Amino acid sequence: MSTPRLPSILPQRLETDPDSVERDLFKLVLTIIELIRQLMERQALRRVDQGDLSDEQVEALGVALMRLDQAMAELRGRYDLSVEDLNIDLGPLGPLLATDA
């Protein structure tokens, strides 16, 4: 007997067929990169606010983060993933990734 599934309500389980394993692994790697990207960006914005960086440094930092952002968008596009897809619900601790960054 098959039970109908409501995938939008229940968190996805890790399926074990080869295609989805690859996609899920890719997703997990992107999640980690996105976490680091967000931390770097936050730190960069803080440093710029403090005003102790030279104009060249601010410019270089901005370009680097912008490229990283673009690269992430491109990688996500490969498996048709959105930023929300990368987030992991940590239950009482809330989501892993900030939704405001």
Structural tokens at position 67: 């490229």
Q: Is 85 a binder of another protein (CB under 8 A)?
A: no
Q: Is 24 a binder of another protein (CB under 8 A)?
A: no
Q: CA end-to-end span of the chain, whole Å?
A: 44
| Rounded CA separation 19/90 (Å) | 26
Residue range at the interface with another protein (CB under 8 A); choices 14-22, 26-34, 51-59: 51-59
Identify each DSSP E strand in 3-85 by its residue range: none
What burial class does residue 81 get, using C-beta atoms within 10 Å of its C-beta: 0-12 exposed, 13-18 middle, 19+ buried? middle
Smallest distance, Å, CB 84 to another protein? 9
Interface with another protein (CB under 8 A), residue from 64, 78, 79, 88: 64
Q: Which residues bind another protein (CB under 8 A)?
A: 3-6, 8-10, 41, 44-45, 48-49, 55, 58-66, 69-70, 73, 100-101
